[in-house]
Amino acid sequence: MKTVLITGCSSGFGLETARLFLDRGWQVVATMRTPRDDALPRSERLRVLPLDVTDAASIRSCLAAAGPVDALVNNAGIGLLGALEGIPMAQVRELFETNTFGTMAVTQAVLPQMRERRAGVVVNVTSSVTLKSLPLLAVYTASKAAVNAFTESLALELAPFGVRATLVLPGRAPTTRFGENARSRMAGSIPPAYAELAGAVFADWAQQPADAVTQAPDVAEAVWRAVTDPACPRRLAAGVDAVALMPA
């Protein structure tokens, strides 16, 4: 039986992906900053472990407790909408600490065991904003584009060891907690000069119907494919809006 370790399982894509792998018979290590027992169905194949991807000690103890991992899904991430001049550098760094360096750090910690077994897969969840830029997302886009570039190079470096590194690029998913979680970082992030632009972006999003945006199961299915199908493309779009942006 194979084991998947997923970061950021308290809500959204991570939670849905954990459910899907459990349904399909995998052992699941669902990691959360603050572990909760009630988020997922009870199963002997489920372990819920604490993991903060920005904390080296937390990564170390999580991986020691997890044991062998066949697939790592770096899903944990935070958002930030705002004009660059409204975002303090401390927040720019916070975003990169989680989205970019957190992904690198967890990957670095898992790789030795995969390389030694000459098997394994790392799936990094980035975003369709790296396919088509949107205003007011410069910092977030940069944090995810860095992961795209990192993963592409890593895939080449790991191929000789039989280990894969792939990307899942979800589109906009307003039903997860992503937007709500980002709001705490947005005080002052839209200076008055950018209010009209922000209004246009919000109005555009508000008129998008539910069937034109990404749903959490789209992402869980894409992650499943990335993990289980060695022939799948290295960049996999998830959700109708993301698929529409993917170059042919």
Ligand X SMILES: NC(=O)c1ccc[n+]([C@@H]2O[C@H](COP(=O)([O-])OP(=O)(O)OC[C@H]3O[C@@H](n4cnc5c(N)ncnc54)[C@H](OP(=O)(O)O)[C@@H]3O)[C@@H](O)[C@H]2O)c1
Q: Which amino acids are annotated catalytic?
A: 140
Q: With binding defined as CB under 6 A, does residue 54 bind ligand X?
A: yes
Q: With binding defined as CB under 6 A, does residue 122 bind ligand X?
A: no
Kindly tell me which residue out of 4, 5, 6, 10 binds ligand X, with binding defined by CB under 6 A: 10
Q: With binding defined as CB under 6 A, does residue 34 bind ligand X?
A: yes
Q: With binding defined as CB under 6 A, does residue 120 bind ligand X?
A: no
Q: With binding defined as CB under 6 A, does residue 33 bind ligand X?
A: yes
What would the x/- binding string for ligand X be over residues 151 to 190, using CB under 6 A?
-------------------x-xx--xxx--x---------
Nearer to ligand X, 7 or 27 (CB): 7
CB of 52 to ligand X, least distance (A): 4
Nearer to ligand X, 33 or 115 (CB): 33
Q: With binding defined as CB under 6 A, does residue 100 bind ligand X?
A: no
Give the chain as a 3 state SS string. Answer: CCEEEECCCCCHHHHHHHHHHHHCCCEEEEEECCCCCCCCCCCCCEEEEECCCCCHHHHHHHHHHHCCCCEEEECCCCCCCCCHHHCCHHHHHHHHHHHHHHHHHHHHHHHHHHHHHCCEEEEEECCHHHCCCCCCCHHHHHHHHHHHHHHHHHHHHHHHHCEEEEEEEECCCCCCCHHHHHHCCCCCCCCHHHHHHHHHHHHHHHCCCHHHCCCHHHHHHHHHHHHHCCCCCCEEEECHHHHHHCCC
CB of 192 to ligand X, least distance (A): 26
Which of the stretches 38-46, 75-83, 152-160, 226-234 binds ligand X when contact is defined by CB under 6 A?
A: 75-83
Q: With binding defined as CB under 6 A, does residue 28 bind ligand X?
A: no
